[in-house]
Every structure is written in C-alpha cells, then in structure tokens.
Chain A
Amino acid sequence: MGELATEKHVQYILSVEKRKDDFISVAMEYLRMNGAYWGLTTLDLLGKLDAIDVDEVVSWIMKCQHESGGFGGNIGHDPHILYTLSAVQVLALFDKLNVLDVEKVTNYIAGLQNEDGSFSGDEWGEVDTRFSYIAICCLSILHHLNKINVEKAVSYIVSCKNLDGGFGCTPGGESHAGQIFCCVGALAITGSLHHIDKDLLGWWLCERQVKAGGLNGRPEKLPDVCYSWWVLSSLIMIDRVHWISKEKLVKFILDCQDTENGGISDRPDDAVDVYHTYFGVAGLSLLEYPGLKAIDPAYALPVDVVNKIFFGR
C-alpha cells in the first residue's frame, strides 16, 4: 500500500478540465456541473483549491442557470435539481453564495415538492428520494428550509424505509447504499434521525465491507470506491462507523489510485475518473486520513465551509 498521491491527483483533476476531445469527455458534457463539484471539492479537501480561477468558474455556473431558477448540467442543457445542488455546493465552496438570486433558486426547488411530500427531479416528474435529499440539502444551505413542507418531506422518506433498515428510491424500492446516504442525510439535516433503527441499519451497512476491505452498495455485489462515501457517511451520521475496519478500507482506496497519472478508480487497476477520485478522497477524509480537510457527512462539503454557513456571524 502506498500513500495518497496528492500531487498526482491534483494534476489529474486539473487536466480533466482541459481534456475535451476524447469520447468520454464529450459523452459526459451533460453533467459538467456535477463534475465541477466533484473535482473542486476534491481540490479543496486536498488543500489545493487556490489553483482555480474563481471568477471563471462562477461566471460559467451562472450561465447554466435557467429562467426557472434551476441549473442545467452545462450551458444550454435543461434545468434539473441534480445540477442545482452541485451549483449551490460549488458556490458555497468559494464562499460565493451571494451571487445567487436566492429567492429564485429556492422557489424552483420548493416548486418541485409533490402533494405526498416527495420531490420530482424536474418538471417531468421523476420521483426519487435522491431528489428529497437534494432539495433539503440545498434549501438548508440557502437558509430557506421553511419554503417546503418538511414534515411531509420527512414522512415520504420514512415511507421508503425497508425492513432491513435501509431505504429505496420510492416506497417498496430495494435498499441501496447511495439511496441510504440520501435518506439518512435528509433525515440528519431535518433533525429526524430518530426515524432510523440505528442498530439495524448499522449492521446492514457494516456488512457492506467485503473481505478485501472495500465496501459494496448492496449485499452480494462487488466493492467499489464510490461506496466508501455512501456507506461511510451514513455510518458516521448514525454513529456506527466503528463497526467496520477503517484500516482495511483505507488500504482498498489507496490501492485504487493510479499512482502514475493520478486519479482513483472504482476498483484496483480500472480506469480512473473524477467521480471516483472525489469519492475516494472524500472517503479518506471521513476515515481521518492525515493531511486532508475534514468533510461533513450530511452536506458533502468541507466541515469549515458548513460551519461557516451555520455558525458564522
């Protein structure tokens, strides 16, 4: 096991932005806003956010905003709650939330709440507890949680709780670590963690650690670096993270690094991407790996950024 190749990862992230000609870069253009969040948060955790031209990023983000108040994944793409959260998170990283027309953004999000408390991702009506988390997280960061019916939002999430203690996309949906993060995060932010059976969910989550040390997202699936985030953050929010072996997980994540060209992949020796690089580094931060900034398990932003939003004056 090596150490975290910080310098290589920084170079990798900066290079991804510049690479525009290969097929994958073009195919991923539609979610550039997510990419910006993954890459920039990673840089911040690594202590290298100052390598970025803030004004350039901020003005690009604002070009992705729509009349409706929501943000698209790139300039000219339709607005969606997925990219709206990323936009808000990146602005928070740079302490630039003041460039937003907060009323407009929060109206867009609040407008996506349905009668039963659930949230649609956009005007086309796909419902998913991921969108509940995003709406709640985003409104909380912008101090406008009162624009939605929180009680109904919480009871919808609770209606997606399964008999194994986890949560699915919609009522009846199978538990999945990514979905569990969203539901636990939304319940954490709304002070509703008492709806969770922490021991039951904690056992399900800690059993995601496979012999090799990595975490999978569902029983009998392969381990994957991105679950380091989904599973770990959930375990932390319910105070059960000591139920897994941190050492083994650190080793698994470090083994997934491309130590030559930078970046982290889903499993050892697979192709790297920004998404897994972010989840690997964020996972290491949750594991208290030395030299990394601490990340908040619910808001998925560095702790200092979150503390500033809620305790600054």
Chain B
Amino acid sequence: MHGRPRKDPKPEDAAASVAKAEKLRSLQSQFLSNHHNKIYTNEALEVNTKLLEVNPEYYTAWNFRKLAVEHRLSQSDSDPDSIKSIFSEELKVVESALKQNFKSYGAWHHRKWVLSKGHSSIDHEMRLLDRYQKLDPRNFHAWNYRRFVAALMNRSEVDELRYTTDMINSNFSNYSAWHNRSILLSNLLQRKVQGFFPKELVLNEEYELVHQALFTDPDDQSGWFYYLWLLDQTVKADAPLLVSSWPARDSLIILEDQCLDDRALSPFNTFHSDSGTFPLIVYFNQAVEGVNSSTISVESVLNANSELNWKPLSTNNSQTAQVWVTYLNYPKVDVHSEAYPVEVSIGHSGGIISSSGFHYSHPSRFAFKVFARPVKTPIGHGGEIISWQDGNFALYETSPEEPNPTISLDQLNSKDDNEKTSSEWRAETIANEIALFQELLSEISCKIGKLTLARLLKAHDTLLSPCANKMVYSEEVIKLYSDLRVLDPPHSQFYKDEHSLTLLQQITSTRESLLRYCFLHGDGTSSFIGNSMCLRLNNLSLSRMGSIERLLWVQMLDLSHNELRSIEGLEAMQLLSCLNLSNNKLSGFTALGPLRLLKLLKVLDISCNQIGSHSIDTTRYLCSSPLCHTEEMDWGRDETVTADVNLANYWEAFVIFRGLSLTQLDIAGNAVADEKLKSFLVKIVPTLKWLDGGELH
C-alpha cells in the first residue's frame, strides 16, 4: 500500500469495507470456478471484466482472458471483423484496469500481448501513450510500452529523440525523459546516423541542453547523471589502453637468487624470489579479456621454449580483468652474466577486448632488461620477525643516478594523435565547462556544482597530461571534496573516498612526492624481503586505496592507521611480500579477498581492525566463494583440521587464508580473533612461524 493515510476505521467505514469485500470475494470465487472449469462464456467473461476493474493486480484473471481469447478465436469463422472486435474488447478492459491502477504489470503486459497479435491499430496506441505520458511523465511502464510500440511500428529513433526533447523542454525535471534520451542518443552516435556525426557537434548541443536543467535548479537531480554521462563521453576513449607494467619500460631489473644485502643496489628495481621465476604484470585502464600468448608476445631468451600462461588478476575468478600477470624464468645466475633483454609487444594481433566490446587498438611495444645476481653470503631464511615500529624505518635518501620509480609508469601510452581535432575539442570543452561551473559557484554554493567542478578538474588533469604526471588542480580538487563533506554530511564518506583517491594520485604523481613516503626498513639485515624499501602510506586517513598502477614495484607496504574498509585493487601488487593493514576499518575476512592473488605475500598485519564486529558483511559477494558459485568449498584435504569447528562460522577465514603461505600474521585487536580461531589459522596456514608476535613451534 502506498500513500494511504493511517487512521482507525470508523465503524461505518469498516462495515462498508466488509460489504465491498463480500462482493469482491464472490467475484473472485465465481471467477476461479470458471477458470478451473474452462468456462469462457460471455457471462464468465463479464465476471472476469468486473473483477479486473476492481482488482487489476489479480494476475490469474489476465491469464484467463488470454485463454478465453484463444478459445474464441478457435471458435470464430476467421472473419477479420470479428477477430478485430475480440481484440479491441481486450484493449478496453486494459484501459479500464489502468484507470484503476496505472502501474498494473498485468494490465500492461496484456496490452502488449494483444498488440503483438497484430490485429490492432498502432497509431491509436501512440495517441493513447501521448495522453498517458502527459498525465504521468515518469511512469516507467508507459515509457517501456512506448519503446515497445515504437519498435513495433518502426518509428525512427530520431523521432523518439525529438519526443524526449519536447518532454524535457516542457519540464526539465523529468529523469525518465533524460534516461530515454541517453539510450537513443548513444545508439544514434554509435551508428553514426546522419546528423549525429561527428560526435563532437552533437555533444556540444547536449551540453547546452543539460546546462539549462542544471543551472535552472541545481538541486534537481534529473540532469545530474546525464551530465556525468556526457563528461564520460567527452573524456574517455572507448578502446582499452595499457597504463603501466612491471617491469616497467626501459628498466633494468636486478633479480636476486638469494637474499642480498647490498645498499649500492637501488631498492626500486631489485627483486628477490626463491621460486626461480619473476612476474610480468600488465595494467590496463579498464577490464579486458583475451590476454594470452598470441595477443601479447614476449621475446626473450628466458622463455624461449615455453608458451607463456597469462592469468587475469580477478577476485571473482572471471576471465576479464584490468590487470594480467605471467611468470618468466630467472636467467642463469652468474657473476659475469649479462643483462638479458626482454621485449613485450601488445595488441599487434588483436584479440584484447574491453567488456564493452572495444578492441585494444594502440599496438605498443616496450622493453626492459633483467640481470640476475648471486648472493654474496647466504643469510637466514626468514627466521626473524618483521617489526613495523617507526624506529625501524629511515627515510630513503636517493642518489641522483638512481632509477626513478615513477618514470616508467607513464611513458607507456604511445598515444598516437591521429585524432588531433578531437583531442583539441576535448580540452576546449573541459576548459569551457570548468569556467561555467566556476561562474555558477561564484553565484551560489551548491553541491552538484562543487562535485561537477571537482570531476571536471580531475578530467582536465588526466586529459592534459596522461603521460606527464602533472596534477595541476589536485589541491583545488581536495579542497572541493573537503567543502562537500561539510555541505552534504549524509554523503560525507563518498566525498572522503574521492578525497583519498585524489590524495593518492597526488602522492604518486612525481618522483619527488613519492620519495617522501619511501623508507628503508630495519638495519639492512632483514633477509627475506627482497629489498628493504618500504612505501609508508600510513596515518593519511585514507579511506580507500588507489593509484595502484603506479605502485606495482612495491614489495613492502605500510597502510596502517588509515580508515580503509577495503583493499580493492591491491591484487595488482604482485611483488608484495610484507603488508601492514593494522588499525584500519576492515570489517570482515572477505575484505581480504585481493590477498588471495598475492602469491609472494609472507608478512601480514591486520591487527586492530573490526573483523567480527559487524553482522552485515559488505564484501560477502565481492569475494569468491560458494555463495556466488565462483568456487566449490573444498574442505576435503583439511577434514581433520575442520572436524571440530562450525564451518558456517569459519568459511571466510578458510577461504582467505588457506591459499596463503604467510610466515607472519598479526590479527589481535579484532573481535573475531579468539584462541579457537587462532588455532584454526595455525592449522590451515602451515607455513606460519609468527602469530601476534609469538613464535610458533
């Protein structure tokens, strides 16, 4: 029931209701009896018509009508007039039902069913719709029906687009019309229909139209989402692009066969692994499928005889991902060995496709060199505990000749500028829009104005310097998000997340800014992390992680003392071996899903979070599990381990930790971390040596 006032029924009303109920009950039972006995006489139909007039939601009655029509058609002598009259009778019943309830699914469907039989006038439907849609311009049943009728009569999309223009001009506040416009226009643009090409001219007009809506009443949401779509159309290229990789372009990577303590080497590009392989990571600007040894060719002596196996870094086991990884073999370890070149060519053969169906269309090539160094003195095997205390870190002092960790991150985009005019148009449009919204905000302070300006300024920065890493406006954007948190408190966490993303962009934008967060860990003897460089993004009140495409080189990461609820995207950091997430707002084990893809992770601190304190798990469906059919629960090999626990309570811990080979875990300070859970974890993670600072035996 919607919009019916709450009141105690007066005795006379109650009596009237009982009388009305009695009448309806009798109609319903007469109807059911007819239906069950397949009686389709005129009397039976009359009962049905009366019933639907009172109660159009009574779905079985609509089914009966369809059966009755079929019955009557089979009885009739196929005289076109009598067929026509059978169907026009149905349309009348629908009309009176809609009068009773304009939102009756059953009535609208019955009308569609009648129309699709092809015996009724379509023109009449268009006139009827015009009338209905004037009465209720937001009724989505009517809009759906309109699309159905337009398709049935082959009405042109241009005509339908004009209809949305009329609707919008008569009242800007009609989200339904804006929506239909976005559907029609994107079809017309995609097909490059005459009058809708080039795209730029069309979009200019659309900006004009939506400005009128936004500036007339900035608080009315009708134009907000349309504007965002236009902005997207302006800024985003359809085709997927490669944004970064590890090893990065033109880098020299030093692989260590064993642990090495040598300060002369730059920690930015040394990598250690026992496995005899190292990862090759490619990071796209959107999720793609079709990455394999034929779409990416890797030329190097290191994998001369084997076909590479590319794996999507997807937390739900899908074959689509933004980041893909493969593994190359270590070159021969020898003091006198040379640096081996590796050349990667992407997209020369086609086949890499975005989820929206666009092909990778910027074939590109990059190269790096790898060099394997033997150990001087083999030292420990990760026996000692890693401590994250401040005293163990010293700001990293870089030497001028050292490679820049960020340098290679951006030069990958071999941006061919064939579409010079289009990119000029983009820049010009964004600049115009920025000026317009600055003007609006000088007159009134409104949330959509500030939010749009923040989005425009970010768009400006990515458009103007996708490769140069300049963040011209980041300070202003951060200021806008801070303002918005005050202006619109219910959505403050939304703005805070945006704020965090901008901050991370700023931090990772240049070598200088990033170096402020790079620290050397320990006294240099920490033996089993590949190198002792730690990126410390702690205490920044980050509520969300981002800019990960620029952090692929990181092997030790401190994110402690932030406000992170999720670590979405961290799965791309394939080199990560030590991770500190303590003192954040992680509220469930399923939030750690990305860690399952980090095969090198050894040290994990998740102490002092909120795991176990919440009854509702917001990452329950973002983590691969039997609930979403992305994997089976295989307790099998752990039968003895799991025999005495309630699996319904421990499945999250099981799913997350079973595949990790952690040696050190800190979990104290979470509601879930009782002795029982800890002993469970010790059993399912046999590699574990340290738990909450204590050594396991």
Q: Residues of A at under 8 Å CB distance from B?
A: 21-27, 29-31, 72-73, 76-78, 80, 122, 124-126, 128, 140, 145, 150, 162-164, 168-170, 172-176, 188-195, 200, 202-204, 206-207, 209, 213, 218-221, 224, 236-245, 248, 258, 265-267, 269-273, 275-276, 285-286, 288, 294, 296-298, 303-304, 306-308, 310-313
Give the CA-CA distance A270 to B3 in the complex, in Å: 6
Question: Are the CB atoms of A193 and B491 closer together than 8 Å?
Answer: no
A-B residue pairs, 5 tightest by C-beta: A191-B630, A245-B490, A188-B621, A191-B628, A294-B615
Contacts of B622 in A (CB 8 A): 193, 237-239
Give the CA-CA distance A22 to B622 in the complex, in Å: 46
Interchain nearest-CB distance for B326 vs A (Å) = 21
B188 at the interface (CB under 8 A from A): no
Question: Are the CB atoms of A29 and B28 closer together than 8 Å?
Answer: yes
Which segment, of B221-229, B246-254, B342-350, faces chain A? B221-229
Give the CA-CA distance A56 to B222 in the complex, in Å: 49
Contacts of B60 in A (CB 8 A): 30, 72-73, 77-78
Residue of B24, B57, B222, B628 near A188 (CB, 8 A) is B628
Residue of B4, B21, B314 near A271 (CB, 8 A) is B4
Question: Are the CB atoms of A174 and B143 closer together than 8 Å?
Answer: yes
Can you name the residue of chain A whose Cβ is closest to the Cβ of B317?
A: A191
B376 at the interface (CB under 8 A from A): no
Interchain nearest-CB distance for A272 vs B (Å) = 7
Interchain nearest-CB distance for B70 vs A (Å) = 11
Q: Mark B606-638, 1 if CB is under 8 A from A, else 0.
A: 000000001110111110111111100101000
Question: Are the CB atoms of A243 and B17 closer together than 8 Å?
Answer: no
Interchain nearest-CB distance for A16 vs B (Å) = 12
Can you name the residue of chain B whose Cβ is closest to the Cβ of A27?
A: B55
Contacts of A125 in B (CB 8 A): 113
Interchain nearest-CB distance for A108 vs B (Å) = 16
B109 at the interface (CB under 8 A from A): yes
Chosen A-B contacts, 8 in total, with CB atoms closer than 8 Å, are A27-B55, A30-B60, A80-B59, A126-B105, A192-B316, A207-B491, A218-B138, A271-B1
Question: Are the CB atoms of B6 and A220 closer together than 8 Å?
Answer: no
Contacts of A170 in B (CB 8 A): 144
B425 at the interface (CB under 8 A from A): no
Contacts of B24 in A (CB 8 A): 23, 26-27
Question: Are the CB atoms of A270 and B6 closer together than 8 Å?
Answer: yes
Question: Are the CB atoms of A219 and B175 closer together than 8 Å?
Answer: yes
Contacts of B109 in A (CB 8 A): 124, 126
Interchain nearest-CB distance for A125 vs B (Å) = 7
Contacts of B113 in A (CB 8 A): 124-125
Can you name the residue of chain B whose Cβ is closest to the Cβ of A75?
A: B32
Can you name the residue of chain A whose Cβ is closest to the Cβ of B139?
A: A174
Can you name the residue of chain B whose Cβ is closest to the Cβ of A298?
A: B621
B40 at the interface (CB under 8 A from A): no
Known pairs A124-B63, A163-B229, A266-B1; A218 contacts B616 (CB<8 A): no
Can you name the residue of chain B whose Cβ is closest to the Cβ of A289?
A: B615
Can you name the residue of chain B whose Cβ is closest to the Cβ of A199?
A: B497
Question: Are the CB atoms of B648 and A207 closer together than 8 Å?
Answer: no
Question: Are the CB atoms of B221 and A308 closer together than 8 Å?
Answer: no
- Beyond contacts A276-B1, A311-B651: 8 other A-B pairs, Cβ-Cβ < 8 A, are A76-B36, A173-B143, A189-B627, A200-B228, A219-B221, A239-B568, A239-B619, A298-B621
B84 at the interface (CB under 8 A from A): no
Residue of A78, A162, A221, A312 near B63 (CB, 8 A) is A78
Give the CA-CA distance A166 to B224 in the complex, in Å: 14
Known pairs A26-B28, A30-B57, A193-B621; A172 contacts B626 (CB<8 A): no
B186 at the interface (CB under 8 A from A): yes
Contacts of A303 in B (CB 8 A): 615
Known pairs A26-B28, A162-B179, A220-B220; A236 contacts B616 (CB<8 A): yes
Question: Are the CB atoms of B316 and A191 closer together than 8 Å?
Answer: yes
Question: Are the CB atoms of B316 and A194 closer together than 8 Å?
Answer: yes
Question: Are the CB atoms of B616 and A288 closer together than 8 Å?
Answer: yes
Known pairs A207-B221, A218-B175, A271-B1; A174 contacts B180 (CB<8 A): yes
Question: Are the CB atoms of A209 and B627 closer together than 8 Å?
Answer: no
Interchain nearest-CB distance for A78 vs B (Å) = 4
Question: Are the CB atoms of A194 and B6 closer together than 8 Å?
Answer: no
Known pairs A23-B17, A220-B220, A236-B618; A190 contacts B629 (CB<8 A): yes
Question: Are the CB atoms of A269 and B6 closer together than 8 Å?
Answer: yes
Question: Are the CB atoms of B105 and A145 closer together than 8 Å?
Answer: no
Known pairs A271-B4, A294-B616; A30 contacts B21 (CB<8 A): no
Interchain nearest-CB distance for B183 vs A (Å) = 5
Question: Are the CB atoms of B6 and A124 closer together than 8 Å?
Answer: no
B602 at the interface (CB under 8 A from A): no
Interchain nearest-CB distance for A128 vs B (Å) = 8
Give the CA-CA distance A172 to B57 in the complex, in Å: 25
**B window 154-184: CB within 8 A of A:** 173, 175-176, 179-180, 182-183
Known pairs A30-B58, A191-B318; A310 contacts B626 (CB<8 A): yes
Give the CA-CA distance A236 to B52 in the complex, in Å: 39
B460 at the interface (CB under 8 A from A): no
Question: Are the CB atoms of A308 and B648 closer together than 8 Å?
Answer: yes
Residue of A73, A219, A244, A313 near B491 (CB, 8 A) is A244
Contacts of B215 in A (CB 8 A): none
Can you name the residue of chain A whose Cβ is closest to the Cβ of B625?
A: A310
Contacts of B626 in A (CB 8 A): 310-311
Interchain nearest-CB distance for A129 vs B (Å) = 12
Residue of B179, B316, B619 near A174 (CB, 8 A) is B179
Contacts of A193 in B (CB 8 A): 316, 621-622, 628
Interchain nearest-CB distance for A281 vs B (Å) = 14
Contacts of A80 in B (CB 8 A): 59
Contacts of B633 in A (CB 8 A): 310-311
Question: Are the CB atoms of A242 and B565 closer together than 8 Å?
Answer: yes
Question: Are the CB atoms of A239 and B2 closer together than 8 Å?
Answer: no
Give the CA-CA distance A270 to B140 in the complex, in Å: 24
Question: Are the CB atoms of A24 and B1 closer together than 8 Å?
Answer: yes
Question: Are the CB atoms of A272 and B225 closer together than 8 Å?
Answer: no
Interchain nearest-CB distance for A311 vs B (Å) = 4
Contacts of B316 in A (CB 8 A): 191-194
Can you name the residue of chain B whose Cβ is closest to the Cβ of A184?
A: B621
B18 at the interface (CB under 8 A from A): yes
Residue of B4, B615, B629 near A145 (CB, 8 A) is B629
Question: Are the CB atoms of A271 and B6 closer together than 8 Å?
Answer: yes
Q: Mark B52-73, 1 if CB is under 8 A from A, else 0.
A: 0011011110110010000000
Question: Are the CB atoms of A266 and B565 closer together than 8 Å?
Answer: no
Question: Are the CB atoms of B1 and A76 closer together than 8 Å?
Answer: no
